[in-house]
Amino acid sequence: MKTAVLGYGTVGKGVYEMLRSAKDLEQGPVLVRKGKADEPWKTDDFDAVLADDSLNAVAEAIGGIDPAFDYAMKTLKAGKHFVTANKALVAEKGSELQAAADESGAAFLFSAACGGGVPLLHNLALSQRGDGILKVSGILNGTTNYMLDRMQRFGTDYEAALKMAQEMGYAEADPSADVSGLDALRKVILAAGTAFGILPSGGLHEGIESFTAEDIRFYQSKGLVLRLIAQTERTAGGVSCFTEPVLFPDNAPEAAVLENNNLASYEGRCCGKISLMGQGAGRYPTASALIRDLESVLSGERRMFPEGLKQAEADHDSVKRRYLVRLPEEAKEQLPCDEVQGKEGAYLRILTGAIPVNRMHEAARKIREKGGRIAFAALEE
């Protein structure tokens, strides 16, 4: 199956290289930006790629929505298979792309977009056919896990941990999507679509920007380890979908996920909890997932989202958790306090009663709007 590669950056280079040695796959052209086609196998003309009848598939590694969405729609409408690593594209435009694929019969696969080399979406797609899936959760962002691990094991402060993540090539020059939890939210939206056939909108994301080395020391004194968790589950009102920091006992599996690794788990009605751990990003792990998708196309796979994919507002009323919160003393009344655990200057550390996820996120938003500083993490219980 001859495959064109869109984008020749970190992932695109890996895919092009791996296509050379893949068993039943053949290298097609690589699309680069206008004026940058400096090799005979590169092109800057997408329409020429599309018009090439010898090409059966396109692997997209440009990123973003524009022009990736236009290229994706044209590819699928032309009946060519489309595989992508682009989580922003699938989280935002997944329904339209799936509809175009359904109409032409082409394959639309995106396992590289969630978990990199970790085959989470493939397993969800398989498991949801044989068993109902109740919940998907995990550490889906390697950059923030690396930073939290540095802060936890080496006492590094937030700024230094971010700088190290950038030096290691894990964090981008603009790390905001990673540290704000948005990157992990996009991934878990894809997991929700694959597991439940619902692409949730209005997902909540809290990241790791608010935590200090002092917060981490406080958690450690209580035997707790901080991780950034993305989660989606079936609820009374539909499907929840959010990213937030969570505190685990130091003997929990999540606490043992070090460096930039991912740990993705799902719970089936009958199969119970299943976990997958490994490299969630990087050139070769991610390229290997795109190659895996192309091989799956050859064995007849056409979709990851189940038939009848819907879009719906996420439900955050039904999921309740207790939170350990550092907040200005004058903001204490905004949350139900079960216990004051400490006082540092004008700030308190409180443990809340069980409250809906959206109430916690909303309280944090209001406190920050008024210039207050707040850090919160759910307790894994």
Ligand X SMILES: NC(=O)c1ccc[n+]([C@@H]2O[C@H](COP(=O)([O-])OP(=O)(O)OC[C@H]3O[C@@H](n4cnc5c(N)ncnc54)[C@H](OP(=O)(O)O)[C@@H]3O)[C@@H](O)[C@H]2O)c1
Closer to ligand X at the Cβ: 83 or 151?
83
Closer to ligand X at the Cβ: 140 or 324?
140
User: Which residues of this protein are in contact with ligand X, per CB under 6 A?
Assistant: 7-12, 31-33, 61-63, 67, 85-87, 112-113, 116, 281-282, 286
The nearest distance, CB 42 to ligand X, in angstroms, is 10
The nearest distance, CB 5 to ligand X, in angstroms, is 10
23 catalytically annotated: no
Active-site annotation holder among 187, 343, 366, 370: 187
234 by Cβ neighbours in 10 Å (0-12 / 13-18 / 19+) ranks as buried
Closer to ligand X at the Cβ: 170 or 196?
170
Closer to ligand X at the Cβ: 116 or 193?
116
Give, for 205, the enclosing helix (H) or strand (E).
strand 204-205
Pairing of strands 81-84, 57-60: parallel
Task: Please count the helices (runs of H) and the strands (runs of E) in the chain.
Answer: 12, 20
Tokens matching residue 262 = 């991912």
Closer to ligand X at the Cβ: 57 or 113?
113
User: Strands, E, within 206-295: which ranges?
Assistant: 224-235, 238-249, 261-268, 272-279
The nearest distance, CB 210 to ligand X, in angstroms, is 24
Give the number of C-alpha atoms closer than 13 A to the C-alpha of residue 306, restricted to the C-beta side. Answer: 22
Question: Phi, psi (5° rounding) for residue 52?
Answer: -75, 105
* Beta bridge mates, 241: 232
Helix 182-196 vs helix 120-130: crossing angle, to nearest 10: 30
Tokens matching residue 20 = 């050379």
The nearest distance, CB 332 to ligand X, in angstroms, is 40
The nearest distance, CB 162 to ligand X, in angstroms, is 17
Report the distance separating Cα 185 and Cα 192, nearest Å.
10
Q: Which residues are catalytic?
A: 187
